[in-house]
Amino acid sequence: MNKLEERSLVVLKPHTLTRGLVGEVIRRFENVGLKLVGIKMVQVSKELADKHYPLSRREFIEGMGKKTLENYAQLGVDPVKELGTADAYEIGKLVRQWLVRMITAGPVIAMVWQGPSAIEVIRKIVGHTLPSKAAPGTIRGDFSYDSSYLANKGKRAIKNLIHASGNLEEAKYEISLWFKDEEIYQYPRDMETNPISQLVDQNGRD
């Protein structure tokens, strides 16, 4: 892996498999030129789910609660009436329980994608956490209209199809949690070896 490259963990949540969207999602990452360096189907245990969504990462738990609160504010919904609290951390803990239940409900596809700025590029392709706010053309925006409000009403996590590492620190932790070193492979993609692609890259043209 060269210095400009990063790796990101992507997990296709169980509803992506039940909806038959696995190929569609993978195609989008392949199309932009990212390299798939690890892939497997996993029935996630409660133990793995707990480590993947760590209760000890307060800013992550609070972040989920804040997303719910923002969504409620936009819709004019009172969090205390709906959930019994307006505290972001308490709401985050509730959401996390539903999230663990969702990710363990059926098999997932776990993948490691590699490329320059892979983490940011993947987040761009995936779109906003709330599909109702995700731009058209993104995976979440194109295949769902779910929101915190709808999900919380049903006492479930938002069905936004996919998990993607949020930053470099998260990516490193998550990849080591899901993949052994020998499950990650190296090979050149066409654009790295094809002389015409290289010429085009050098000229900075498409």
What DSSP character marks residue 11?
E
CA torsion 3→196→190→120, rounded to 10°?
Answer: 40
Sign of CA dihedral 52, 130, 139, 194: negative
Residues in the chain: 206
At closest approach, how far in Å is the CB of 75 from Mg ion?
A: 22
52 binds ligand UDP (CB under 6 A): no
63 binds ligand UDP (CB under 6 A): yes
CB nearer ligand UDP, residue 9 or residue 158: 158
**Catalytic residue annotation:** 163
* Contact map string, positions 163 to 192, toward Mg ion, x by CB under 5 A: ---x--------------------------
148 binds ligand UDP (CB under 6 A): yes
Yes or no: say if 15 and 109 are a contact pair by the CB < 8 Å rule: no
What DSSP character marks residue 93?
H
CB nearer ligand UDP, residue 37 or residue 164: 164
Q: Which residues pair with 163 in a beta bridge?
A: 11
At closest approach, how far in Å is the CB of 171 from ligand UDP?
A: 12
Calculate Rg over the CA atoms of the chain. Answer: 18
The two structure tokens encoding residue 136: 């058209």
Count of residues engaged in binding Mg ion, rule: CB under 5 A: 1
**Residues making contact with Mg ion (CB under 5 A):** 166
**Residues making contact with ligand UDP (CB under 6 A):** 63-64, 67-68, 95, 99, 129, 148, 151, 157-158, 160, 163, 166
